Amino acid sequence: MKTLIAYATKRGATKDMAARIAGGLGGADIVDLNGPEAGRVDLSAYGTVVIGASVYAGAYRKSAVAWAKSREAELATKKVALFEIGSAKDALAVRTALPDLCGRAVAVAKLGGEIRWKRLSPLERMIVKAVMKTSGDSSTIDDAAVAAFIGSVREASL
């Protein structure tokens, strides 16, 4: 059966990671959880659902949490994997946001994050400067973690 990757991004890094994971899996459908198709996506065709979202101020994006909760009954019949995108090395926010789903997921991972300076608002720039001591583009995407995550999803989907 097919794999769906459902993602929620604010500045594009999670969207790019969804595409990267789809490529690593040898193909997957992708849905933007902030787009109009999120509410009407039919999960019956999918055996595996990967959910990914970025973290801001310690919180997994609300649209991903709301979507996962609204599809709880259907997701209970699928293999589920969850990833989060964020620059800090904190504990995983998704484990707090979706504890039950994380408890039965085939993979749960933080894959690092990207600061895309030009896309940040003035307030976001102030926060990044103060907290991360940086004022430009940066990436902490963890290639080994990405490869391990893709491997776990592939294995579970066989």
Ligand X SMILES: Cc1cc2nc3c(=O)[nH]c(=O)nc-3n(C[C@H](O)[C@H](O)[C@H](O)COP(=O)(O)O)c2cc1C
The binding site for ligand X (CB under 6 A) comprises 9-14, 54-58, 85-88, 90, 113-115, 120, 124, 127-128
Q: What is the C-alpha separation between 60 and 11, in angstroms, rounded? A: 14
Strands (E), the chain: 2-8, 29-32, 46-56, 59-60, 79-85, 107-110, 114-115, 138-139
| Smallest distance from ligand X to CB 45, Å | 26
Q: Which residue is nearest to ligand X (CB)?
A: 86
Q: Position of tokens 């690593």? A: 24
| Smallest distance from ligand X to CB 22, Å | 15
| Smallest distance from ligand X to CB 18, Å | 9
- Residue 97 makes CB contacts below 8 A (sequence gap 6+) with 59, 60, 64, 65
Q: Which is nearer to ligand X, 46 or 83 (CB)?
A: 83
| Smallest distance from ligand X to CB 127, Å | 4
Q: Which is nearer to ligand X, 9 or 157 (CB)?
A: 9
Q: Which is nearer to ligand X, 4 or 113 (CB)?
A: 113
- How many angstroms separate the Cα of 55 from the Cα of each of 9, 52, 61, 79, 83? 9, 10, 6, 23, 10
Q: Which is nearer to ligand X, 4 or 85 (CB)?
A: 85
